[in-house]
Amino acid sequence: MTFRLKAASGPNTGQTFNLADQDTDIGSVDSADIQLEGIESSHARIRFDGETLMLEADYEAFVNGQPVARQPLKSGDEIRLGAHRFVLQAPGLRPPSVLQQTEQRQPISPWTWVAIVGTGIAGFAAIASLVLTRL
């Protein structure tokens, strides 16, 4: 199966990088399989043993927002190296979520507002009653 990294942000946005059958070196040197500016010369590698893809990072790396040094990968994982962000793609496998989406907040229901206002009015009435009985 051919795996690839698709650049989701950074200078290479939209580009696709095929991963080698066994090891893929990622760094800023000319000899890197995936050459990226702005990261260390030998920043990380992705190893494939025929069954598992494994990210091994010598420098700062994140998978799905979590810092990692060594992490097994699956289709749909988001990998960040420096300013470069990628999504791991496995042809034929649709990832559950390509990129994490921000959760949209639900609007406050009108009944919640009625309860809030009603509680405020009741509290104000209780305080006013207490103040007026002390006068």
> What's the CA gap between 132 and 135, in Å, rounded?
5
pLDDT reading at 63 higher than 90: yes
Mean pLDDT within 68-82: 94
Q: How confident is the model at residue 65 (pLDDT cuts 50, 70, 90)?
A: very high
Please report the pLDDT score of residue 40 as a whole number.
Answer: 95
**Secondary-structure breakdown of the chain: helix, strand, coil percentages, each rounded to the nearest 5:** 20, 35, 45
> What's the CA gap between 72 and 77, in Å, rounded?
10
Mean pLDDT within 84-92: 85
> What's the CA gap between 105 and 80, in Å, rounded?
27
> DSSP 3-state assignment of 128?
helix
* Sheet-wide strand order for 84-89: 16-18, 4-9, 84-89, 78-81, 62-63, 66-67
- Per-residue model confidence as pLDDT tens digits over 13-25: 999 999 888 899 9
Q: How confident is the model at residue 29 (pLDDT cuts 50, 70, 90)?
A: very high
Is 41 or 109 the better-scoring residue by pLDDT?
41
Average pLDDT, the chain: 86
* Assigned token pair, 92: 């034929």
Q: Which region among 26-35, 43-52, 91-100 has the lowest average model confidence (pLDDT)?
A: 91-100
Mean pLDDT within 57-81: 95
Mean pLDDT within 108-126: 88
> What's the CA gap between 46 and 28, in Å, rounded?
15
Please report the pLDDT score of residue 8 as a whole number.
Answer: 92
